[in-house]
Amino acid sequence: MNLTEKNKLDLIEHNIKKSQEANEEVKFLISNGFYALALTRTYYSIFYMISALALQYDFSTANHSQLIGWFNKTFVKDNKVASEIGKKVYLAFEQRTKSDYNVLAQFTKEDAEKGLANLNFILPAVRNLINSR
More confident residue, 6 or 92: 92
The SS3 assignment for 8 reads helix
Closest by CA to 88, choosing from 55, 126, 34, 130, is: 126
Mean predicted confidence (pLDDT) in 52-66? 94
User: Do 15 and 55 contact (CB within 8 A), yes or no?
Assistant: yes
Q: Does the structure show a pLDDT above 80 at 76?
A: yes
Q: How confident is the model at residue 3 (pLDDT cuts 50, 70, 90)?
A: confident
Amino acid identity of residue 101, one-letter, is Y
Distances (CA, A) of 57 to 4, 35, 52, 92, 129: 14, 33, 9, 23, 10
For 10-28, b/e burial (b = at least 16 CB within 10 A) is ebbeebbebbeebbebbee
Q: Does the structure show a pLDDT above 60 at 1?
A: no
Q: Give the pLDDT confidence score for residue 99 in this predicted structure.
A: 94
Q: Give the pLDDT confidence score for residue 62 in this predicted structure.
A: 85
More confident residue, 5 or 96: 96
Fold for the domain defined by 5-132 = Four Helix Bundle (Hemerythrin (Met), subunit A) (1.20.120)
CA–CA separation, 19 and 55 (whole Å): 14
